[in-house]
Amino acid sequence: MSTQSATDVMTGKEVTAGPIVLLGSPGAGKGTQAKIITGRYGVPHVSTGDLLRDNVSRVTELGKKAKAIMERGDLVPDDLVLDMVGERLVAADCDKGFILDGFPRTTAQAEWLDRFLASRTFAGRFLPPIVIKVQVGYNQLLQRLTGRRTCPACGRIYNVYLQPPRREGFCDVDGAPLIQRKDDSEEVISERLKTYERQTLPLADYYRRQGRLYEVNGELPVEQVTAEMHSLIEKLRAAHD
Ligand code: AMP
């Protein structure tokens, strides 16, 4: 990750990213975008799915409770997720902001985040979340999810149909064998997409009512989606200065 922070082109001042929320269906590309954006603003990528998977693989108390729920494609109960996120967001590396991927996922989680942000400053300022929804059509989502492979060593994400590694089954960066997430099997994917429609779509309305929802077309090439996100973030944060 680059430590170089972005500066505003008009003022030359460093951009404080503050809290950024990426919304969108599983497979919309939130993780891919979050990994790129973090480098530009020097803030961490906080993926609740990654945090939960890490707990599952370390067989922590939380991991034991979450494992079966995640394998079915359901949501882990709020009390477990909120404690985990609360702990993560007070870490020192979140001082200038963070990129939330996979959180909030329910309106109750979004309300919790609003309360959390009301008592939290970034580089000395209160900043509201910038909420960006990444939109991708259903067929494209299916192809992305069934084809998704991840490098367990460096976290890089590939797709066997759309962005295959140079050597089939192995990471381009470090040569580690790629893995397929257990919940990226077809039956679980359809369950996850249903859960998304039922529980996470209402979140878009929640943020729309607050006038905070911005949408980007996630079917565009990765670099174009990133460019749109950067320009949105910089415009909105400049408006706060
Ligand atoms: P993801 O990597 O974001 O697709 O998340 C994988 C799985 O982790 C989901 O299908 C849920 O079971 C669980 N999960 C991730 N984030 C949350 C959250 N904010 N609330 C509840 N469950 C979550």
As a whole number of angstroms, the distance between CA 176 and CA 102 comes to: 26
Going by alpha carbons, the residue nearest to atom 14 of ligand 1 is: 49
Q: Is the pTM of this model over 0.95?
A: no
What is the best residue among 76, 85, 89 to mutate for testing ligand 1's pocket, by most ligand atoms within 8 Å of CB?
Answer: 76
As a whole number of angstroms, the distance between CA 113 and CA 210 comes to: 14
In this predicted structure, what is the pLDDT of residue 212? 95
For residue 213, give the 3-state DSSP assignment.
strand
Residue ranges lining ligand 1, Cβ < 6 Å? 26, 48-49, 52, 69-70, 73-76, 81, 102-103, 105, 109, 183, 192
As a whole number of angstroms, the distance between CA 21 and CA 212 comes to: 10
Contact 52, 63 (CB under 8 A): yes
CA of 192 to the centre of ligand 1 (A): 9
Q: Please state the atom number of ligand 1 nearest to the C-alpha of residue 52.
A: 8
Biggest CA-to-CA distance, the chain: 51
Kindly tell me the sign of the dihedral angle through the C-alpha atoms of 201, 203, 208, 214: negative
Note down pLDDT in tens along the chain; length 241 residues: 344 457 766 666 788 999 999 999 989 999 999 999 999 999 999 999 999 999 999 999 999 999 999 999 889 999 999 999 999 999 999 999 999 999 999 999 999 999 999 999 998 999 999 999 999 998 899 889 999 999 999 999 999 998 999 999 999 999 999 999 888 888 899 888 888 888 888 999 999 999 999 999 999 999 999 999 999 999 999 887 6
Confirm whether 96 is a catalytic residue: no
Q: What is the DSSP string of 28-95?
A: SSHHHHHHHHHHHHT--EEEHHHHHHHHHHTT-HHHHHHHHHHHHTPPPPHHHHHHHHHHHHTSGGGT
In this predicted structure, what is the pLDDT of residue 55? 97
Please list, in sequence order, all residues whose beta carbon lies within 8 angstroms of the beta carbon of residue 143, skipping any fewer than 6 positions away.
Answer: 159, 161, 162
Q: Please state the atom number of ligand 1 nearest to the C-alpha of residue 101.
A: 3
> Which domains, from first to last, does the chain contain?
6-136+200-238 (3.40.50.300), 137-184 (no CATH)
Q: Rounded to 5 degrees, what are φ and ψ at 62?
A: -60, -45
Catalytic residue among 96, 133, 156, 192: 192
As a whole number of angstroms, the distance between CA 157 and CA 220 comes to: 17
